[in-house]
Amino acid sequence: MKALLTLVLLLAVALPAAAQDTTKAAAPPAPPPAAAPSTATVEAVLARSVVDRAPQDTGTAFPDSVGTVVLWMRVTDGNGQTLHHVWFHGGDQVGDVPLTIGGSPWRSWSRKSIPVEATGAWHVEIRDEAGNVIKRVDFTVGQ
């Protein structure tokens, strides 16, 4: 009986030690590097329309009956990048249009339908792939 008790005690002490993992835990993977800000240069204007790739009837104040506003941009040194036109009414984001830049210089634009009741302050941010704001254009509707 004494021998059996000794064996049980030895096993009770030895088994937990054998089950322990004594290897070092691997370090968590490093986060991916942050994307570098875009080197693109952007010129941008708001307009009522685009004809032959040129903005028409540009401005920063539009009547509540405008219907549609266009953000036209000319991009230099942005070949292959995707830029986003992120539209805001007041502080609320109401649109995000990705535009792939196919050369340098490159002209592109996006349109936003403006409901008659959506008066007040608006703005559009042109953002690079990492979300950095390259340019911001403010405008008003119906005021």
Residue 56 forms part of a structural domain: yes
Measured between alpha carbons, how far is 118 from 103 in angstroms, rounded to an integer? Answer: 35
Q: CA Rg, the chain, in Å?
A: 30
Residue 31 forms part of a structural domain: no
Residue 8 forms part of a structural domain: no
Sheet containing strand 82-89, edge to edge, reads: 61-62, 133-141, 120-127, 82-89, 92-100
pLDDT at 121 > cutoff 90: yes
pLDDT value at residue 5:
55
pLDDT value at residue 141:
97
pLDDT at 112 > cutoff 90: yes
Higher pLDDT, 2 or 47: 47
Residue 34 forms part of a structural domain: no
Mean pLDDT across 34-46: 83
Give tens-digit pLDDT for 45-90. Answer: 999 999 999 999 999 999 999 999 999 999 999 999 999 999 999 9
Measured between alpha carbons, how far is 62 from 124 in angstroms, rounded to an integer? Answer: 14
Residue 1 forms part of a structural domain: no
Residue 36 forms part of a structural domain: no
Do 42 and 106 contact (CB within 8 A), yes or no? no
Residue 30 forms part of a structural domain: no
Residue 59 forms part of a structural domain: yes
Domain membership of residue 62 as a residue range: 41-141
Tally of structural domains, the chain: 1
What residue type is 141 in one-letter code? V
pLDDT value at residue 29:
72
Mean pLDDT across 117-126: 97
Quote the Cα angle for 113-59-86, to 5°: 45
pLDDT value at residue 105:
94
Higher pLDDT, 34 or 75: 75
CATH number assigned to the domain comprising residue 47: 2.60.40.1930
pLDDT value at residue 32:
59
